Amino acid sequence: MPREDYIVTIGLEVHCQINTESKMFCGCRTSFGEDPNSNICPTCLGLPGALPVLNKKAIEQTVLSGLLLDCKTPEISKWDRKNYFYPDMPKNYQISQFDLPLCIGGSVPLYHHNYPKDYQKSIANPGKKIGLTRIHLEEDVAKSTHLPNASVIDFNRAGTPLMELVSEPELETPEEAFCYLKTLQQILICGGISDADMEKGQLRCDVNVSVRPPSQKELGVKIELKNMNSISAVRRALHHEIQRQCDELDANNELTQATWRWNDGLGVTEFMRGKEDAHDYRYFPDPDLLPVRSGKIVDRMRPHVPELPHDKAARFETDYQVTLYDANVLASDQSLANYFEAAAKSSSAKPKKTANWVINTLNQHLNEANLSASESPVAPEKLAGTVDLVEAGTVSNNQAKEIFEVLWKSPARDPAEIAKELGFEPADSGAIEAIIDEILAANPEKIVEIKGGNEKLINFLIGQVMKVSQGKANPKQVTDSLRAKLLS
């Protein structure tokens, strides 16, 4: 049976480290990239007699995450021990939450612009939201590194506050999973919950996927996928695993619930272990930690809910009259959105022009330098001044890009002074009109075609004028003049 005829069901378990200065149950500093096993204590190491103490900020940030995603917070939330043996958790249990987590329900919207670009024209369910089952708070485990003949372990990560966001099994394609993760990442960053950097392990994802024939009502056998270190890897792994399961069913082979790992180098999934269920972990309430009453925490965190990306995009469309695409691109990055607003308010040009410069010219330079908009050497006011020179007809768009290049290397300089230094003085309007008349006289056949309806040829004449004027003519003024002479 073709893959398209099978029903695919996907659920995601996303683990997100919370931005806190100390760990979840002790005072050790959270860190990344420091010397192995340098930020540890008896609690991190699970030594006998070490007692946990709750991290107030981690609880508040988890509740805030629930508010961002329309979750409900139970009046009472408690802590449980999840028992298992593995070197990354030497006390042989992980402090987590089982039946009374901090957040229940909620949803994650699938932002259109967060789908893979090659899929955006064929989105099956625009505006779809994916339900959340729960968000619970736990401690992260140590980091294991497996070498050819040994394994080493770093406990710096052990005990870092870790949220687990569990989706309902409502995703239907790898592309929806891709979009879900991108959107969730943006919302968590927007709320200041986490930097959500997958390369640093701050955001990790386990995938549950099953396939079944259309005649089968109950879900297919669930396969869990691990070891995915990027959002694009999740998409690749899902495409492979879905095809593998379909092939197994086509061959009348029985699928068994299990955990598989994704080998990104080979592009294949590999069997890892039989899948554990909740009863295998023997959850029971942690006797060292009291339950938490959440009412006052919810009230305290509600004022901290920021403007979310979809709300910001809608406001940009209304307030700045930018396109939906531009609004989504700008709103998807908090620092880029702040930069755009500052530049738009400093510029006399239409915000749409400023948006184009931020999205195209600025973004290109930021990406090449691996910088965020908040780290841009060119201040929003300087970019606005450059756009204003174009709007005033002082320089052409290409000349303005040359000015920006100078600003990028010398950000303290003034755009207008750079224009003078580069010789970008506006040409005399009378001289430009003479050049236009000269070009028209030299191209009578083009004039006939333009008046016959082929208006695209005006671009050819504009190019000729710009060439003769050595780029000093303002393209807008040349265009207006040509259209007035030929089409009025």
Domain co-membership, 414 together with 473: no
Q: Give the three-state DSSP class for 154.
A: strand
Single out the residue of 95, 104, 249 nearest to residue 158, CA to CA: 95
Mean pLDDT estimate for the chain: 92
Give 479's pLDDT tier (boundaries 50, 70, 90): confident
Q: Mean pLDDT throughout 202-231?
A: 93
Residues 97 and 99: their CA atoms lie apart, in Å, by 7
Q: What domain range is 450 assigned to?
A: 429-487
Q: Mean pLDDT throughout 300-322?
A: 95
The domain that contains 465 carries what CATH number? Answer: 1.10.10.410
Domain co-membership, 317 together with 436: no
| Residue the block writes with tokens 């001044």 | 385
- What percentage of the chain carries pLDDT values higher than 90? 73
Domain co-membership, 45 together with 75: yes
Domain co-membership, 384 together with 403: yes
Q: Cα–chain-centroid distance for residue 78? A: 32
- The lowest-confidence range among 77-86, 214-223, 341-350, 386-395 is 386-395
Point out which residues pair with 263 in neighbouring strands.
268
- What's the pLDDT at 78? 97
Q: pLDDT tens, 10-43?
A: 999 999 999 999 999 999 999 888 999 999 999 9
Domain co-membership, 22 together with 82: yes
Instruction: Indicate the residue among 301, 331, 347 that finishes a domain.
Output: 301
φ, ψ at 272 (rounded to 5°)? -115, -55
Domain co-membership, 213 together with 321: no
Domain co-membership, 132 together with 245: yes
Q: Give the three-state DSSP class for 96.
A: strand
Residues 355 and 330: their CA atoms lie apart, in Å, by 8
Instruction: Indicate the residue among 421, 447, 476 that finishes a domain.
Output: 421
| Residue the block writes with tokens 């997100």 | 16
- What's the pLDDT at 277? 63
Domain co-membership, 332 together with 459: no
Q: Give one DSSP letter per residue of 101-130, joined into a string.
A: -SEE--EEE--GGGS-GGGGGG-SSTT-EE
Domain co-membership, 274 together with 321: no
Q: pLDDT tens, 320-368?
A: 999 999 999 999 999 999 999 999 999 988 999 999 999 999 999 999 9
- The lowest-confidence range among 175-179, 189-193, 337-341, 435-439 is 435-439
Instruction: Indicate the residue among 284, 301, 318 that finishes a domain.
Output: 301
More confident residue, 473 or 459: 459
Domain co-membership, 179 together with 257: yes
The model's pTM: 0.84
Domain co-membership, 193 together with 169: yes
Calculate the CA dihedral of residues 39, 53, 303, 16 and round it to 10 degrees.
50
- What's the pLDDT at 278? 56
What is the tally of structural domains in the chain? 3
Give 486's pLDDT tier (boundaries 50, 70, 90): confident
Contact 96, 281 (CB under 8 A): no
Q: Is the pLDDT reported for residue 432 higher than 90? A: no
Domain co-membership, 370 together with 442: no
